[in-house]
Amino acid sequence: MTTTQDSRAPPRRGLTTTRAPFVESARSRGDLFIAQPYELYDDDNQETWRRLCRAIEALWERCACARFLDGLTRLRLDRDLIPRLDAVNAQLVPVSGFRARAVSGYVPAFVFFDCLARREFPTTITIRAGDRLDYLPEPDIFHDLAGHVPMHTDRVFADVLARFGDVARAAAERAATIAAPARRRSVLESNIRALARFFWFTIEFGLMRSRHGICAYGSGLLSSAGELVHAVSSPAVERVDLALEHVVDQAFEIDRFQPLLVVVDSFESLFDEIGRLEAALHAGRLDAVRDGSPAVGDVDLHSFAAAADAAREAAS
């Protein structure tokens, strides 16, 4: 006999990545932006957060940039319990205007970048399984809150993110002026790939020079104990200066430690580089970047195409 769960029953507890009924239900309804149902975190979820913090905290002190460490202090990020987004935002918004906004899963590329332009950071609420601490099938709350959000307390870095969101908007508006559907699709695919690569090598896996040597500010590094040490100290890593024309043509690795990482001198110089990124976009230099990762999926392409359609309608 088949039984169904009583719709009046409370949701099952547990917000483990890929095993969270609350999130699955939100996705089935098409709800991307959601509330953080804090009461659904179970003891295993909380213990996973504690273990992740314990495994990396000393490495942050050794390998992370000073502005990240300042951000941890400003946010009063709890190491014993998964933070409540409302409490994080109470500390974050007055500092940089950014806020963490809970999402139910993957955020299409344009929607994600447009959130940045509005100073909102899409934040995953699930946490990875406790028996696979080093394996991340998709972003989780540790990656987003412990890796990304402390950097958002830095005003210049926050401006970098918002400026990047503006460039994504410019890409959609530019695509709106391309009449031929095949050409428009080709340009958008190339532009999205270029933007994703720039974001990957700077925001996700960026390194910075400091008076103490190379340090990390990228969220993919700061949320992975193994990759953080590898990025900063391994002789197997090639560390190169940020050069726009190289970054947008450079494929990246998604299933192993990064063999190539980009180093910036400051967030001010990174902000200036995004200005050059936008200039390259308008000059057409991002319209035919080299193939390779990341693959541009239909969901991401549709998100930009929809934004382009909206821009065309607004201009008519």
Helix axes 66-75, 85-96, angle to 10 degrees: 120
Is residue 234 over pLDDT 80?
Answer: yes
Six-digit token string for 11: 């949701």
**What average pLDDT score do residues 158-169 get?**
98
**Residues 22-309, CATH architecture:** Orthogonal Bundle (1.10)
Strands 260-264 and 99-103: unpaired
Backbone angles phi, psi at 207, to 5 degrees: -115, 160
For tokens 């193994």, the residue is 226
Provide the CA 215 distance to its chain's centre, in angstroms: 19
Is residue 2 over pLDDT 90?
Answer: no
Residue ranges in 64-215 assigned as alpha helix (H): 66-75, 85-96, 109-117, 141, 155-175, 181-199
Q: Judge whether 115 and 303 are in contact, CB under 8 Å.
A: no
**What average pLDDT score do residues 64-93 get?**
97
**What average pLDDT score do residues 75-99 get?**
97
Helix axes 298-315, 109-117, angle to 10 degrees: 60
Q: Model's pTM, two decimal places?
A: 0.94
**What average pLDDT score do residues 135-144 get?**
85
All residues at 6 or more sequence positions from 165 whose CB lies less than 8 Å from its CB, including other chains = 113, 114, 115, 116, 117, 118
**DSSP one-letter code for 95:** H
Output the pLDDT for position 138: 81
Q: How far is CA 114 from CA 121, 184, 208, 256, in A?
A: 10, 20, 26, 29
**What average pLDDT score do residues 225-254 get?**
94
Output the pLDDT for position 137: 65
Closest CA to 111 of 303, 311, 309, 295: 303
Rounded to whole angstroms, the Cα distance separating 221 from 206 reads 8
Q: Which of 175-179, 210-214, 235-239, 304-308 has the lowest mean pLDDT?
A: 210-214
Output the pLDDT for position 4: 39
All residues at 6 or more sequence positions from 231 whose CB lies less than 8 Å from its CB, including other chains = 63, 205, 207, 216, 218, 221, 237, 257, 258, 261
Segment 261-280, tens digit of pLDDT: 999 999 999 999 999 999 99
Closest CA to 168 of 4, 303, 284, 29: 303
Rounded to whole angstroms, the Cα distance separating 217 from 220 reads 9
Segment 164-221, tens digit of pLDDT: 999 999 999 999 999 999 999 999 999 999 999 999 999 999 999 998 899 999 999 9
What number of other Cβ atoms are within 10 A of residue 35's Cβ? 12
H/E stretch holding 209: strand 207-210
Output the pLDDT for position 9: 57
The per-residue pLDDT of the chain, averaged, comes to: 94
Strands 120-124 and 207-210: unpaired
End-to-end Cα spacing for the chain:
59
Rounded to whole angstroms, the Cα distance separating 304 from 283 reads 19
